[in-house]
Amino acid sequence: MRLEKVLGGVLMTLLLGMAPARHALTIDDVLDTVSLDRVTPSPDGEWVAAVVPRPARAGETAGRNAYETDPSRSDVWLVSRRTGERRNLSNGAANAAGFWCATWSPDGRMLAMLSTSPEGVEPRGGDNVRLYVWDRVDGHVRRLSSAAVMTQGRYGSGLYPLDVRGGADGGSIAHTCRTDDENAGFTWLDDHRLVALMLPSGQVSALLDQYGRPFDEAVRTRAALRDGRTPTVTAVGSGEARIPRDEAQWRATLTIVDAKSGITAPVADVPIYPFSGELTVSIAPDLRRISILAPVRKLPFTNGVAPPFNNGDWHVEKRLGMVDLTPGAPVRWAALPSAARLPLEMLDWSPDSRHVAFRARSAVSDRTSTAFVLDAASVAVDGIGKDLVTATSSLGQKAGRPIALWSDAKHLLLRARQKDGKRDDWWLATREHAPVNVTAALAASPVTFRRRADGVLATVADGRLARLDPRAASLTPIGNALRKDASILFPDDPAQRTSKILLTTNGIIDEIDAANGRLVATARVAPGEIHAFDNRGLIWSEQTAAGLFLRDTRLESGAQRDLLRLDRHLDAVAWGERRIIDYNSTVGTPLKAAVILPPDYRPGRRYPVLTWVYGGYQVSGLDDFWLNRYAPGIYNLQLYAAHGYVVLVPSIPTARDGKEDVYAALPGGVMPAIDKLAGLGIADPDRVAVMGQSFGGYTVYALVSQSDRFRAAIAVAGITDPAQAWGQFDPAARGYPGFEDEKSANWSIYENAYGDMPPYAAAERWARGSALAHVDRVHTPLLMIHGELDLRDPLAQVEPFYFALSRQGKTARLLRYWGENHSLAASPANVRDVYNETLAWLDHYTAPRPAPH
C-alpha cells in the first residue's frame, strides 16, 4: 500500500508538471491584450482582411488615443478561408505605424486603408493620416496621396463625426473603420476609384489632432511669449459679441482618387464643424451625385430655450446641398422652407437617384422632426408624410436601424407617429397622397426592414417574416413561425440586397431564405461580435478565457475554422470566479450585484473588498460589462481580484431626471450590497474600499461625504460640484479660434440630470448635488486621480476638493497626470502608474491578510 501511494504521488506530480503553469492576472497581461478592429471578407469570399492591433509595448507611438482603441498601432492581415494562410500586409511595427480601416475594392483586387506610415523626412510613427492601397497584383502597399484624410476621433470624443455612405456597395449606412467608434472618411466608387474627404494643407487628421492640438498650441504660445510682439489672447463671445467662424479654414475637399494611376481630382469643398453634428456624404445609386448634410456652427443659445436632447446633432446648424460627382463641380445648397429650417439627418436615396429623403425641424426647441425630400436636380424641398413626426433623438440611419427607406421610386416607408400618437409605426408616404399605416394591426411595430434580392422590403412582424407590398400598402407574412423574440442580425445595411436573412435569439442563429421565409440552417454561436456573413459562412469573433478567436462557421454543416487566435497569453491566467448575488436596496428594491473572487479564493475566509461604483448603473448578469476579462487598463477589475481583493459591483439605480436627489440616493444601492456580501461570509466588513471613475468618481465623492463606512477611497476623473462643472470649458479645446467654448458638451449632460434646468434656474436643486459642499464630512483616506485634459470633468473640479481636505488636515493624495484625458489611458506608462498607485493605497489601508498555513 505504501508503494502504491508513493507511485500515485509520483504520477500526480508528473501530471501536474505537464499542466500549464497559471498565474494571477498582471497589468502587463492587460496591456498586451488586444481586440480585433475591422474584419471584412473579399468580394469572392476567398480571403479575409483583418485589422489587428499590436500590444502597447515599448517602441510604439502612444498618446494619440486611449491605448486600447488606438488604430495607429495596427496592421492589416490577410487570412485565407480555404487554407488558413496568414499574411501581415503592412508590417507597421518597424516604423511604429498604424494601418487600419481596410476596405476591399468591388473587384477584390485592392484594399484601401488609412495609415500613419511615415515617408521621407516624416517622423517615426507618422505626422498625419493618409490614404493607402494594397494591390493584389504586385503585392505592395503604397500611398495614394500626401493630403491628410479627414478622420473621426475615437473613444467617444465626438470630434469630427463622419458619415460617408453609398458608392460601389450601394449602402445606406455609414462606412465604418470600427463599429460604434470610428466611421470612414472614404469609400470605393468603382473598381479603381475612391471618394475621400481630404483636409487642407497643414491640417492634421482628428485621430492625431484631438489630443495633439493643445500641445502644439502651447509651443506656439511659448514662442509668442518669448518674442514679445504677438499677444497670446484667445477670445470667445456670445450674443452680439459672438465671433464669426472662418469657414474657409474649417472645410474638407471631396476628392476622387484613382487607385491605379494615383491621380487625385478635387470635386468640391464642404464645410466641417469639429465638435458635433455629423458631416454626411451620401452617394446616389447611379453614382452621379452626392447629397451633403454639413454642420456649420453651433446653434446660438436663446434664454430659456435649449436643444431638447443630449445629442450633438440637435445642437448644430446644418446646411443641405447637392453636388455632381465631377471635378470642380459647385455645391448647390438648398433653400430650406421654415418647416425644414434645421435639417437633422440624411435618410435614404430613392432607387432612381432622383430624390433623397431627410428629416428636419423648424425650431431649436422641437423634440420631434418631420420627413422631407430633396430633388437632386433642382435642390427643391418638398414635404412627405404629412402630419407624421419622428420622435427618436438618435441618428438611426447610420446604426442600421433606419427610420426611412424607399420601397420604390415613389413610396417612402417611414417609421413615425401622428403628432398625438403614442407608438411609432411604419407608414407608406408619397408626396401626393396621405400616408398609410402598414403596421397598425401588428401587436408590435417592427424594429427595421431589410431589402431582398428582388428589391422587396422584408421584416420580422409578430413572429413571422413578412414582405411589404407598396401597392396594397400592407405586409404579407411568409414562411413559418419564427423563434420568439427573434431579431434581424444580418445584413447590417438595409440597402444591401440579400437572399438570406440571419435572425438571432438567445445565442441561436437562424438562416432564413428571404424569398420564402423558410429555415435554411441553424447554429448556436457563443456570444461575440458578428463581422460578416456570405455564401461561405459566418465570420465572428469570440473573447474567451483562453484568448480571442476569429472564427469562420458554415451554418449548414456546422463546420468551423479558426482564422486567427490572439491574446494567447491569457490562457495562462488564473481567473477569478465571477458570481451574481441578489439583494435589496435600502428602500426594498430587488437588485443584483456582480462579484469577482480572488483566483485562490477559499470559502469560509473573509476578504477585503473593493467596491466599484457608478451611479445609475445596474448589473445585468454574468455577461455584465464590468465582468469582462478583456476590459482595458485600470478598468479590468480582474486585476484587483488577482491581488487578493473581492471585487463588488453593486447596482445603483438613480432617476437622474431632476426629480430625485441623486446625491442622497447613491448610498441606497451600495451599502446593502456590502452587507449582503458580509452576510455571505465573503467580505470582511472592516476592510471595505470604494473606487469609481467619471460619474463613478462623483459617486465616490458622494459616498465618502455621507458615510464613514469605507477604509479607503479612490476617485478617478470625477466631478465634485455639478454646478461648477456645468459651464467649465473642455481643457483640450485650445486652438479653435473664436469657438473654444463650444467643444464642451457637459452643460447638456448635467442639465439632463437636473430636469433640463441650468444651475441659475434651479440653484437649490443643483446645490444638493455638490459633494464639495459637504467636504467637511469626509473622513475616509482619499486618493484622487485626474487627467489634465479631461474633456468631461475638468481638473478644476478636483483641486478645490483636495485643498479643502488639506485645509482640514485630513488624509488625501492628489495625482494629476499631465496630458492625460478622461480615461487616463493615453500612455501605457500612465496606466501602469495609476494601477500601482491604486494598489499601494488599497494595500496601505485594507491590505489582504496572508492566508493561514
In 719-825, which ranges are E strands?
782-787, 812-817
For 128-190, the DSSP string reads S-EEEEEETTT--EEE--SSPBP----TT--SS-EEEE-STT--SS--EEETTTEE-SEEESS
Q: How far is CA 361 from the centre of its chain?
A: 26
Supply 54's cell numbers: 499590436
Grid coordinates 487627467 are at which residue? 787
Q: Is the dihedral of CA 423, 426, 430, 433 positive or negative?
A: negative
Strands of the 74-80 sheet, one edge to the other: 39-41, 47-53, 74-80, 86-88
Supply 231's cell numbers: 499677444
pLDDT at 529: 86
Side-chain half-sphere CA neighbours of 247 within 13 A: 10
Side-chain half-sphere CA neighbours of 750 within 13 A: 27
At residue 289, φ and ψ (nearest 5 deg) are -140, 160
Q: What angle do CA 661, 662, 663 make, to 5 degrees?
A: 95
CA–CA separation, 213 vs 218, rounded Å?
9
Strand partners, 595: 579, 648
At residue 784, φ and ψ (nearest 5 deg) are -115, 125
What does the radius of gyration of the chain's CA atoms come to, in whole angstroms?
28
Ranges of each domain in the chain: 573-721+769-846
At residue 635, φ and ψ (nearest 5 deg) are -90, 0
Q: How far is CA 162 from the centre of its chain?
A: 13
Do the beta carbons of residue 370 and residue 340 sit within 8 Å? Answer: yes
Do the beta carbons of residue 278 and residue 294 sit within 8 Å? Answer: no
For β-strands 404-406 and 182-183, DSSP reports them as: unpaired
pLDDT at 498: 94
Do the beta carbons of residue 535 and residue 520 sit within 8 Å? Answer: no
Q: Which residues contact 682 (CB under 8 A, 6 or more apart)?
A: 595, 597, 606, 607, 646
Side-chain half-sphere CA neighbours of 464 within 13 A: 14
pLDDT at 217: 94
Strand, helix or coil at 222? helix
CA–CA separation, 402 vs 395, rounded Å?
8
CA–CA separation, 457 vs 449, rounded Å?
6
Supply 737's cell numbers: 479660434
Superfamily name and number for 573-721+769-846: Alpha/Beta hydrolase fold, catalytic domain (3.40.50.1820)
Helix (H) or strand (E) holding 807: helix 799-807
CA–CA separation, 464 vs 510, rounded Å?
13
Q: How far apart are the first and last CA of the chain?
A: 29
In 302-369, which ranges are E strands?
316-324, 332-333, 342-349, 355-361
For β-strands 683-693 and 712-716, DSSP reports them as: parallel
Do the beta carbons of residue 576 and residue 641 sit within 8 Å? Answer: yes
pLDDT lower than 50: segments of the chain: 1-17, 853
Cα 113 to Cα 72, 74, 98, 146, 266: the distances in Å are 12, 11, 10, 14, 20
Phi-psi region of 677 (alpha: psi -120 to 50; beta: other; left: phi over 0): alpha
Strand, helix or coil at 716? strand
Do the beta carbons of residue 116 and residue 97 sit within 8 Å? Answer: yes
Do the beta carbons of residue 634 and residue 838 sit within 8 Å? Answer: yes
Do the beta carbons of residue 369 and residue 361 sit within 8 Å? Answer: yes
Do the beta carbons of residue 198 and residue 255 sit within 8 Å? Answer: yes
Helix (H) or strand (E) holding 751: helix 746-753
Strand, helix or coil at 84? coil
Nearest to 776 by CA among 706, 671, 673, 712: 706
pLDDT at 4: 44
Cα 129 to Cα 90, 116, 135: the distances in Å are 15, 5, 19
For β-strands 381-383 and 370-375, DSSP reports them as: antiparallel
pLDDT at 527: 66
CA–CA separation, 625 vs 620, rounded Å?
8
Strand, helix or coil at 361? strand
pLDDT at 786: 98
Supply 849's cell numbers: 491578510
Q: Which residues contact 581 (CB under 8 A, 6 or more apart)?
A: 592, 593, 595, 673, 676, 677, 680
pLDDT at 156: 59
Q: How many DSSP H helices and E strands does the chain contain?
A: 12, 50
Strand, helix or coil at 445? coil
Residue 326: count of CB within 10 angstroms of its CB = 12
Percentages helix, strand, coil for the chain, rounded to the nearest 5?
Answer: 20, 30, 50
What is the per-residue burial (b if ≥16 Cβ within 10 Å, else e) of 385-403?
A: beebbbebbebbbbebbbb
pLDDT digits (tens, 9 = 90+) for 775-812: 999 999 999 999 999 989 999 999 999 999 999 999 99
Do the beta carbons of residue 358 and residue 320 sit within 8 Å? Answer: yes
Supply 524's cell numbers: 448556436
